[in-house]
Amino acid sequence: MATKLRLEPRDALRLLPPGPVTLLSTMYRDQPNLMAASWHLPLGFDPALIGVAVHPGRLSHEFVTRSESFALNIPTADLMTAVHTCGLVSGRDGDKFAAAQLTPADATEIEAPLVAECVAHIECGLLDRKAWGDHDLFVGRVLSVTALDEAFAGFWQVETDAGQLLHHLGADRYAGLGRAYRVTPSEDE
C-alpha cells in the first residue's frame, strides 16, 4: 500500500482548500482597501451570516473593526494575478485597487467599494469579532447580495467562463473547478 506522510498540524489547513478565493473590500476614512481572503465560511441562513478569519496584522482587520462592515467580492480565474497581488501587498503600502488594476464600484448598503470585475458581491455588516488563535473570526450579517446571472443560477455555473471561480491551493498555486456533477435520483426515490 502507498505510504501516507505524517504532516504538521498546520498542513491540515492546506489539506482543506476552502471555497473560492474572495476579495474582501473595506473602507475607512475615505480610504478603500482590498485583501485576498480564502478563510471564509457560511455560518447560518436565517439570518444569513458569514465568518471570515483575518489576521490582526492586516490593514483590512483594522478597517473591518473600525468601519464595522465589509464586502466579499468573488473573482473568476482570469483575475488570478490581481487576486494574488491583493494577497501579497498591504494597503499600508498604497492603493490596492490601483496596484491590482481593479475598479471600485458603489455598494448598496455599505460604504466600502465593490470590485467591478468580480462576478458576485456580498455586503456585510459586522456582527461580532472573536479571537480564537492567531486570526480573528469576523462574523458578518449579510445585507445585500448580487451576482451575474450567467455565473450563478442558484448554483455556480462552473463550466462557463463567467462561473470559473478561483480556488487557492497554497503558495502561488490556484485551481478552477472544470466539471459539475449532478445527482441522478434512483428509481425508488
Shortest separation between residue 120's beta carbon and ligand FMN, angstroms: 17
Q: Which is nearer to ligand FMN, 58 or 121 (CB)?
A: 58
Is position 77 an interface residue for ligand FMN (rule: CB under 6 A)?
no
Enumerate residues 104-123 that contact ligand FMN by CB under 6 A: none
Q: How far apart are CA 69 and CA 33, in angstroms?
A: 12
Q: Which is nearer to ligand FMN, 4 or 130 (CB)?
A: 130
Choice from 25, 60, 157, 164 touching ligand FMN (CB under 6 A): 60
Is position 90 an interface residue for ligand FMN (rule: CB under 6 A)?
yes
Q: Which residue is nearest to ligand FMN (CB)?
A: 87
Is position 129 an interface residue for ligand FMN (rule: CB under 6 A)?
no
Choice from 28, 58, 120, 156 touching ligand FMN (CB under 6 A): 58
For ligand FMN, the binding residues (CB under 6 A) are 21, 33, 35-39, 53-55, 58-60, 84, 87-92, 96, 135, 168
